[in-house]
Amino acid sequence: MDNTLDLAAIQTALEKSSAKVEALINSYVDKKEQLISLLQDIQAEFDYLPQETLVKISRTLDIPLSQVFSVATFFQSFSLKPRGRHTITVCLGTACHVKGGQRLVDKISRDYKIGPGETTQDERFTLETANCLGCCALGPVVVVDGKYEGHMTPDKLDKILKKYE
């Protein structure tokens, strides 16, 4: 395989992505009050908020960097680190915790060598926890890519996650 072609393809993809980000930021120049919407658009492009992009937002929109980072870190839906292709969220609310939610987190941590807020080395999975997902009767609950799975057990969890490997 010719590495030069691979590097050229990567460079082209980065340039296209950079141009798209530049256009996104510029589209908000007169809409500073819509910072959250801009951050959502940026995250949709990258699946996280790259630090250099946050700096560019601050400079272009003339918003203090501390304010941009404050918004980016306040909302749980934003991530400052690359995320996995699949997001696993384990509910640790009282009902789910009592029914074994923490055991599920421990199992995922052990099997995939990640803790809450971390992503596997191959960027396949990101593990998150939630204080309550609002479906206590189904506990313990695990959500994979937005799909809720109730009455979760370690064996059932293995079968579900195998589908994403």
Q: pLDDT for 72-92, tens place per residue?
A: 988 877 888 888 899 999 999
Q: Are 145 and 165 in contact (CB under 8 A)?
A: no
Q: Is the pTM of this model over 0.85?
A: no
What percent of the chain has pLDDT above 90?
A: 58
Q: Considering 44, 74, 104, which residue would you say is the last residue of a domain?
A: 74
CA atoms within 13 A on the CB side of 115: 0
Return d(Cα 42, Cα 21) in angstroms, integer.
7
Return d(Cα 36, Cα 47) in angstroms, integer.
15
Question: Do residues 59 and 96 share a domain?
Answer: no
Cβ within 8 Å of residue 140, ≥6 positions away: 90, 91, 96, 97, 99, 100, 101, 104, 150, 151, 152
User: What is the pLDDT confidence band of residue 6, given thresholds at 50, 70 and 90?
Assistant: low
Question: Do residues 98 and 136 share a domain?
Answer: yes
Compute the residue count for the chain. Answer: 165
Q: Considering 74, 105, 126, which residue would you say is the last residue of a domain?
A: 74
Please say if the pLDDT value at position 39 is more than 60: yes
User: Can you give the residue range of the structural domain that contains 129?
Assistant: 86-162
Q: Is residue 79 part of a domain?
A: no
Q: Are 117 and 128 in contact (CB under 8 A)?
A: yes
pLDDT (average), residues 12-24: 68
Nearest Cα to 125, choosing from 78, 81, 164, 80? 164
Neighbouring CB atoms inside 10 A of 89's CB total 19
Q: How many domains does the structure of the chain reveal?
A: 2
Question: Do residues 155 and 91 share a domain?
Answer: yes
Question: Do residues 142 and 97 share a domain?
Answer: yes
Please say if the pLDDT value at position 132 is more than 80: yes
